[in-house]
């Protein structure tokens, strides 16, 4: 009976551990959130140029773990700012890897190719504190 109880306890603990690991869907301890406001958000030509340069850049970076390019969702609540044109969410192993990404040649090329397209950029960085 003790052996059965011990085995059941191990199975429960393994299941709980597995469930806890599934909660962490974001990989990386440093999140870099960037919001872009294009000068001409209705221009298909500008959007294509921006998206092409952005995709080329983030698919070439050696430091990015996960990436997400988005546009404002159709949500409407007082606390939501959906005035931006594009969002870019990137994750990195840590701040040091994000610092290296900032100096990457592909990052600098993206800025040079695309900065004339945007009127405003906001960045929110966060580190895992749990």
Query: What digits encode the pLDDT tens for the residues 8-42?
Result: 444 444 444 444 555 556 787 899 999 999 999 99
Query: Is 101's pLDDT higher than 70?
Result: yes
Residue 120 half-sphere exposure toward CB, CA atoms < 13 A: 7
Q: Which residues lie below 8 Å from residue 106, measured CB to CB, with a gap of 6+?
A: 56, 57, 60, 61
What the chain holds in terms of domains, given with CATH numbers, is 27-127 (3.30.70.100)
Shortest CA distance to 39 belongs to which of 101, 114, 125, 126? 114
Residue 56 half-sphere exposure toward CB, CA atoms < 13 A: 15
| 42-73 tens-digit pLDDT | 999 999 999 999 999 999 999 999 999 999 99
């Amino acid at each position: 009976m003790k052996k059965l109880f011990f085995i059941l306890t191990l199975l429960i603990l393994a299941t709980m551990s597995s469930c806890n690991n599934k909660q962490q869907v974001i990989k990386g301890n440093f999140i870099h959130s960037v919001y872009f406001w294009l000068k001409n958000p209705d221009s298909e030509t500008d959007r294509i140029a921006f998206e092409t340069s952005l995709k080329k850049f983030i698919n070439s970076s050696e430091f990015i773990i996960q990436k997400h390019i988005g546009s404002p969702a159709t949500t409407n609540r007082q606390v939501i700012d959906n005035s931006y044109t594009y969002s870019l969410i990137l994750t990195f192993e840590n701040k040091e890897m994000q610092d290296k990404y900032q100096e990457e040649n592909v990052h600098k090329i993206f800025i040079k190719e695309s900065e004339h397209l945007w009127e405003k950029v906001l960045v929110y960085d966060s580190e895992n504190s749990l």
